[in-house]
Amino acid sequence: MTRSVTDIIATLGTGIHVDGTWRDAASGATFEVENPATGEVVARLADGGADDAAAAIETAARTQEEWAAVPARERAEILRRAYELLVERTDELALLMTTEMGKPLAEARGEVAYGAEFFRWFSEEACRIRGDARRSPDGKTRLMVTHEPVGPCILITPWNFPLAMGTRKIGPAIAAGCTMVFKPANLTPLTSLYLVDVLREAGLPDGVLNVVCTTDAGGVVEPWIDSGLARKLTFTGSTPVGKILLEQCSRHVLRTSMELGGNAPFVVCSDADLDTAVSAAMAAKMRNMGEACTAANRILVHRSVIEEFGRRLSEKMSALTVGDGTAEGTDVGPLVEQKAVDKVVDLVDDAVDRGARVLCGGRRGDGPGHFYPPTVLTDVSPDASLMSTEIFGPVAALVPFDDDDEAVRMANDTEFGLVSFVISENLDRALMYSERLQAGMVGINVGVVSNPAGPFGGIKQSGLGREGGLTGIEEFVESKLVAIPVR
Ligand code: ADP
């Protein structure tokens, strides 16, 4: 039977986990975690600072050599057991995630499946880290290439996918044999605390994964970077924070993986199957209430079909039930905080001032909780702010175009390059788009591309490196060349 959320929270750790022990902040400080659907405080956690940061990174550094020596198969089996525990406990983990983050239970369950899958995938990758051996071209030297864990890693995650953003960093770090210091987002730390306990139960040794929750992100992460003990930083979050971290990492030449912002174009061609277009747009726009870096931010629609597409999309969007994500039947939960709602309100007002028409939604309700209704805007002007800003809310912005060249130009007119979507029944046209769109990922006739077995990541200011897929593990290993003369 699923426990109540109060019972689940009562068994969670304090918020700071060092060398296998939960502890209070050295300063004694705490912070509150709220339910965004009600504004209610659901937990109070230790609020870490510089002393806690130091204890965590020193532990990770001390544990690194011993952890790297654990056979790959053993590390793989820890991940595999953790995968099974997460799947077994889907319902209660989903309830916890919804309570702190707001997404409907069905989506939270989907995230548990997606997030757990990173552990299964990397449990399979752990034993397949490749090497190389060959003679040099002149025949005089044996060249042997091995791979070693990069070393202690700094992990920083955002609030929008509280489980999956953690597992897709922790999974490959464990598989590669890296120790970690981990700072989850302070809006949604509870899922991470649950995850730590699952990993302990699965057999993760003390000192491998050290966690510091904090409301002072810079006050914890900068000392980690400047400690000189970390060898890598992996971050998912906004581009401005990513740039600060890149600068800080340059001081110590840390390796970095950066999953930053997006501004995904979603192109509906004149030959699109409109049922496919609408269901893909619903997925690309409404997954996580639009609070995803992969969300369709600009929906570019061929002028010949924009009227019909807008009508069908509005029909679907208006039929969604908005409410507390823990209530069965809710399709759209609250946004994560009031600031997020205020930002959406400003972006919609600005678009309307610049000539956009509201097909549905467009006005926030009264009442408690950070709710914003599913909204469709059409004839959005290219100079509206939401064309260059991540909306991070349930607002579909439709923009007409007249030919493919114009759509490609508009789609690429952004400093971001995370994901693009194209909807077309013509294979040649869809492939042409996939080749010309500047993005790390392209979805054809689909609204979600994320999959642990594929490399997730962006180009341009959307980031550096890839998570998942065959290359995901490479971000956590260094190659070492051993040269041996032929005598
Ligand atoms: P979002 O808009 O998704 O909250 P942020 O980039 O602000 O994106 O946050 C993503 C993660 O980065 C969170 O865990 C946040 O606490 C952390 N963060 C924010 N500012 C800093 C900083 N100066 N140094 C390190 N981490 C930071």
Find the 258 Cα to ligand 1 centroid distance in Å.
Answer: 12
Helix (H, G, I), strand (E, B) or coil at 302: strand
- The one catalytic residue in 58, 125, 259, 474 is 259
Question: In the chain, where does the domain assigned CATH 3.40.605.10 lie?
Answer: 5-260+462-482
Q: Which amino acid is at 220?
A: V
Q: Over the stretch 269-306, which tens digit does the pLDDT of each residue have?
A: 999 999 999 999 999 999 999 999 999 999 999 999 99
Contact present, 463 and 417 (Cβ < 8 Å) = no
Contact present, 295 and 264 (Cβ < 8 Å) = yes
Pairing of strands 463-464, 357-360: unpaired
Contact present, 159 and 187 (Cβ < 8 Å) = yes
Query: Cβ < 6 Å from ligand 1: which residues?
Result: 156-159, 183, 185-186, 217-218, 221, 237-238, 241, 244-245
Find the 217 Cα to ligand 1 centroid distance in Å.
Answer: 7
Closest CA to 191 of 382, 361, 43, 3: 43
At residue 469, what are phi and psi to the nearest 5 degrees?
Answer: 65, -165
Contact present, 198 and 82 (Cβ < 8 Å) = yes
Find the 119 Cα to ligand 1 centroid distance in Å.
Answer: 24
Closest CA to 214 of 350, 19, 25: 25
Mutation test of ligand 1: which of 100, 154, 156, 392 has the most ligand atoms closer than 8 Å to its C-beta? Answer: 156
Residue 385 is predicted with a pLDDT of 97
293 as an active site residue: the answer is yes
Euclidean distance between CA atoms 301 and 168, whole angstroms: 34
Q: Which amino acid is at 176?
A: A
Residue ranges of the chain with per-residue pLDDT less than 50:
none
Q: Which amino acid is at 59?
A: T
Find the 299 Cα to ligand 1 centroid distance in Å.
Answer: 28
Helices (H), 239-297: 239-250, 274-286
Continuous segment of H or E residues that includes residue 137: none
End-to-end CA distance of the chain: 68
Taking the domain 264-451, which CATH number applies? 3.40.309.10
Pairing of strands 264-268, 296-302: parallel
Q: Which amino acid is at 201?
A: E
> How long is the chain?
487
Which residue minimizes the CA distance to atom 24 of ligand 1? 218
Q: Which amino acid is at 411?
A: A
Question: In the chain, where does the domain assigned CATH 3.40.309.10 lie?
Answer: 264-451
Continuous segment of H or E residues that includes residue 355: none
Structure tokens at 406: 């114009």
Pairing of strands 395-401, 296-302: parallel
Find the 460 Cα to ligand 1 centroid distance in Å.
Answer: 20
Ligand 1 atom nearest residue 248's Cα: 24
Q: Over the stretch 370-389, which tens digit does the pLDDT of each residue have?
A: 999 999 999 999 999 999 99
Contact present, 359 and 306 (Cβ < 8 Å) = no
Residue 162 is predicted with a pLDDT of 98
Contact present, 341 and 364 (Cβ < 8 Å) = yes
Which residue minimizes the CA distance to atom 23 of ligand 1? 218
Which residue minimizes the CA distance to atom 15 of ligand 1? 185
65 as an active site residue: the answer is no
Residue 326 is predicted with a pLDDT of 93
Question: CATH homologous superfamily for 5-260+462-482?
Answer: Aldehyde Dehydrogenase; Chain A, domain 1 (3.40.605.10)
> Which residue is it, tokens 């992996």?
234
Helix (H, G, I), strand (E, B) or coil at 18: strand
C-alpha distance from residue 208 to each of 21, 49, 59, 205, 380 (Å): 12, 20, 8, 6, 50
